[in-house]
Amino acid sequence: MAEFDWDHSYTDYRATTAINQQPKHVNLILASSSPRRRQLLTAAGYRFTVDPPNESVESSADRNLSARRLVALLAFEKAKDVAGRIDQGIILSADTIAECNAMVLGKPKDRQDAENMLKSLSGQVHFVHTAVCLWSKPGNHKILKTDTTELEMNELSQSEIEKYLDSGLWMGKAGAFGYQDDLPWIRIRSGSESNVVGLPMELLEEMLAELDYTGGS
């Protein structure tokens, strides 16, 4: 991480070199295998290709970092991995983490892990952080920002937890739940809905504007 300077929060980085000299009409490359991020981009009218990062990127991260630092680091490393094999375009990567009582909740490893996460979130106010990284090539200009949404979960009975676990919808989702699954026991208190799904579209639009990107529909 020594190739550039983060700010003190490690969550909002802006390249120091000029970015307004980049070509306007370039490919947008989604560095993610998430179907939810693809759906959000498609629904918003963006044209893009998909080039997921190596799975080892997530497994090698330092899990002792705070939630906001960890999610920013993961988003950056995902973009960096794909940037190593791309000559031209804007690479878009993102990472999403849930946080409850200062405990980081990523994607559950298995059903038991998912159950433990849901029990820790039950009846609690918690936060979902998504970091978004844009990496423009050529030039290696980078923007990295993090968005946070505050949510509240009802107290869940064991039967409610088991029913959701049986659905399998928890798989691959930070905090072991998906807001997009129309769950009656989770609600947003403040912040972006798309951020909880995995990609804050309002923030993404602002970041792409900083790169003078005009490649939407």
- Structure-token match 């849901």, residue found: 118
Q: Poorest-confidence range of 17-26, 49-58, 91-100, 165-174?
A: 17-26
Q: Write down the pLDDT at residue 216.
A: 58
- Residue 60, pLDDT > 70, answer no
Nearest to 199 by CA among 115, 78, 85: 78
CB neighbours (10 Å) of residue 192? 18
Q: Given a cut of 60, is residue 4 above it in pLDDT? A: no
197 Cβ contact partners less than 8 Å away, ≥ 6 residues apart = 36, 40, 178, 179, 180
181 as an active site residue: the answer is: no
Tell whether the model's pLDDT for residue 19 goes beyond 50: no
pLDDT class for 214, splitting at 50, 70, 90?
confident
pLDDT tens by residue, 71-107: 999 999 999 999 999 999 999 999 999 999 988 988 8
Neighbours of 44 (CB within 10 A): 14
Name the more confident of 188 and 214: 188
**Higher pLDDT among residues 154 and 216, named by residue:** 154
What is the structure's pLDDT at 176?
93
Is residue 139 packed enough to be buried (19+ CB in 10 Å), middle (13-18) or exposed (0-12)? middle
Mean pLDDT, the chain, rounded, equals 86
CA angle 201, 70, 142 (to 5 degrees): 55
Work out the end-to-end distance of the chain between its first and last CA atoms, rounded to an integer number of angstroms: 35
Distance between CA atoms of residues 15 and 63, nearest Å: 26
Q: Going along 86-124, which residue ranges are E strands? A: 89-100, 103-105
**For the chain, percent of residues with pLDDT exceeding 70:** 86
Domain spanning 12-210 has what CATH number?
3.90.950.10
Q: 52 or 6, which is more confident?
A: 52
- The domain spans of the chain are 12-210
Q: How far apart are CA 118 and CA 181, in angstroms?
A: 15
Q: What's the average model confidence in pLDDT over 49-73? A: 86
Output the pLDDT for position 10.
40
The pLDDT of residue 6 is above 70: no
Hey, what are 92's tokens? 């878009």
Q: pLDDT digit string (tens) for 102-137?
A: 889 888 999 999 999 999 999 999 999 999 999 999
Residues 12/5, Cβ–Cβ less than 8 Å: no
Neighbours of 186 (CB within 10 A): 19
Q: Which residue has the tokens 């003190």?
A: 8
More confident residue, 56 or 122: 122
Task: Say what the pLDDT of residue 49 is.
Answer: 96
Q: List the catalytic residue out of 7, 51, 87, 95.
A: 95
Average pLDDT over residues 39-58: 93
Q: What is the Cα–Cα distance from 88 to 71, expressed in whole angstroms? A: 25
* pLDDT bucket at 61, cuts 50 / 70 / 90: low
- Is pLDDT above 50 for 164? yes
